[in-house]
């Protein structure tokens, strides 16, 4: 995971924004990547139903505070990114693939023969 690290007066501040939400961690000492990833994994496994989780953990280096704000699974922001009538650089529509055009040619060549055979069978009935 990617963390944004800031040096503060009290120590270090870490922020991680991802699809699961946003985590903010305040620590008196600099934390390594494995420790930060472990904290995120514990928070995600917690399965808490609240939107915001805050707490603190005592370590030998001091107290590490965290705040976890979950992202809603269904949010209104998802629908705002839908593109409608987006202009493109290409003015004309692209031609169909050669495979599709070959198939259409076969169908158009087969159709008159089918109609002729159907008429003959109809006349004999």
Residue 24: how many other CB atoms lie within 10 Å: 16
Q: Are 28 and 10 in contact (CB under 8 A)?
A: yes
Decide which of 57 and 97 is more confident: 57
pLDDT of residue 10: 86
Looking at the predicted structure, is the pLDDT value of residue 46 above 80? Answer: no
pLDDT tens sequence across 57-81: 887 778 889 898 888 776 555 555 5
Contact 37, 23 (CB under 8 A): no
Q: What is the pTM of this model?
A: 0.54
Strands 4-7, 12-18: pairing kind: antiparallel
Q: Which ranges of 27-84 would DSSP assign to H, the alpha helix?
A: 33-45, 77-80
Q: What is the mean pLDDT of the chain?
A: 82
Q: What angle do CA 73, 78, 84 make, to 5 degrees?
A: 160
Quote the distance between the C-alpha of residue 93 and its chain's center: 29
Inform me whether the pLDDT recorded for 116 exceeds 80. yes
Residue 28, judged by CB atoms within 10 A of its CB (0-12, 13-18, 19+), counts as: middle
């Amino acid at each position: 995971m990617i963390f944004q690290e800031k040096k503060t007066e009290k120590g270090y501040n870490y922020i991680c924004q991802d699809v699961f939400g946003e985590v903010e961690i305040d620590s008196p000492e600099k934390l390594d990547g494995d420790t930060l990833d472990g904290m995120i994994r514990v928070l995600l496994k917690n399965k808490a139903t609240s939107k915001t989780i805050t707490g603190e953990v005592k370590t030998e280096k001091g107290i590490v505070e965290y705040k976890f704000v979950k992202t809603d699974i269904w949010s209104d922001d998802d629908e705002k990114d839908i593109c409608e009538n987006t202009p493109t650089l290409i003015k004309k529509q692209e031609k169909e693939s050669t495979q599709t055009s070959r198939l259409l040619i076969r169908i158009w060549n087969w159709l008159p023969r089918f109609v002729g055979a159907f008429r003959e069978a109809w006349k004999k009935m």
